[in-house]
Amino acid sequence: MKTYFFGGTMTHEQINNHLTKADTESRRGNYDTAEQYISTILETLEESQLLEQSQVFRLRALLLLAQTMWRRSDYNQVLAYANQAISVADKLSDTHKEKEPTLTKIYNVIGLTYWNLSNYSLSLEYYSKAMELGEKTGDKIGVAVVLGNMGIVYSNLADYSRALEYFGNALIAHEELGMKAEAANVTCNIGVIYRTLGDYSRAFEYFSASLAAFKELGNKAEIARVTGNIGNVFSLSSNFQQALEYYKTALVSHEYLGNKADTAIILGYIGHLYAEKSFEEYDPNKAKKYLLDAIAIDEKVGTKADLYENHRIIAKLFKDEKNWEKFAEHFEKYHDLEREVHNDDAKKQAQRFAIERDIAAMQPLSKRTRNL
């Protein structure tokens, strides 16, 4: 016998199918379609009289909305939907099988959001909650995802050896669990580490592997992100024309998909490129335009880590022009933001977390290593 929600509008099976489709479309970058599926579910649930099952579906729908908003770089909305989801989870009994695994994902997306906002202390706090809950419930998938995200935080705090350790553990877990998209994502992040360390050939190797995997999966948002990273490797290798081609390809995709934070990153990269005097198309005016466009988006979405670097480059351009007023304005913003992002509290919390994890002797899943 089929179980219908109030009014007979949707069966449990139909709602599950809608949730699966919403997740798939969100991962592929089809955010509007994903939100349409989720809205239909939430409208149906508003009329539902099957309270506990209704709350379970509502919890999953709100999580998907939070994840979709994260992919759109709408961080205020992420936190709003995530907190709504936590409120719904609180209404479920502690023994409900979906409560803790879903909370692990919610804490993870909140941690991701605070990372995007350069609040590394809060990011680590929520990742710690997600890790603890995931290990408690034996949620190998949840733990694997958090391991990878922890690696990103350590990378931002310039603890590259620990970042690679976390990425290596996450990659092993993702591959064993058949998590192809997550494995491709971690592969890309390993490439970012090697790019930062100046090992461009190895960075290109990891980026290329990640790009091939995302193309196979049809993940448009991640294809654009990795394309931008490859462009940056070309730029750092002084292959400026090829870098510009990759940047433009990535920019078109990010703008089409509505990925605001990623759009700002690429605009900043293009601005950096036109500010490079050894680039044959060196153009400080174009550079300033792209950088100011990037800064405007960064300020709107709150991505401080990219924001301070763009202020640094544009300050240098104004210095070259001896426009001391504008130089002082942007250099001061760069200095203040850089200090805010790389605050000592975040580094101390990261160190404490690492020490506590080592002492606690994490489960075998998170203790395995891989040579990267």
Q: Would you list the domain boundaries of the chain?
A: 12-97, 116-218+347-372, 231-341
Q: Buried (b) or exposed (e) across 289-308, using 16+ Cβ within 10 A?
A: ebbebbbebbeebbbbbbbb
Strand, helix or coil at 2?
coil
Instruction: Give the chain's largest Cα–Cα span.
Output: 78
**Is 170:186 a contact under the CB 8 Å cutoff?**
yes
Q: Give the dihedral sign, CA 345/300/75/163.
A: negative
- Which segments in the chain show pLDDT lower than 50? 1, 3-8, 359, 361-367
The closest of 69, 144, 137 to 98, measured between CA atoms, is 137
The pLDDT of residue 126: 93
Looking at residue 7, the DSSP 8-state letter turns out to be G
Same fold, 12-97 and 116-218+347-372: yes
- CA 217 to chain CA centroid, Å, is 18
Q: What does the alpha-carbon distance between residue 185 and residue 213 come to, in Å, rounded to a whole number?
A: 9
The pLDDT of residue 239: 97
Which CATH superfamily is 116-218+347-372 part of?
A: Tetratricopeptide repeat domain (1.25.40.10)
Dihedral-angle region of residue 198 (phi above 0 means left; psi in -120 to 50 means alpha; beta otherwise): left
Q: Give the dihedral sign, CA 344/79/112/232.
A: negative
Domain range 231-341, CATH architecture: Alpha Horseshoe (1.25)
**Topology of domain 12-97, per CATH?**
1.25.40
Measured CA angle at 127 (ends 121, 133), to 5 deg: 140
Contacts of 227 (CB under 8 A, 6+ apart): 211, 246, 249, 250, 253
Radius of gyration of the chain (CA): 22
Q: What pLDDT digit, counting tens, does each position of 284-343 carry? A: 999 999 999 999 999 998 888 889 999 999 999 999 999 999 999 999 998 888 888 776
Q: What does the alpha-carbon distance between residue 28 and residue 41 come to, in Å, rounded to a whole number?
A: 20
Strand, helix or coil at 132?
helix
The pLDDT of residue 345: 58
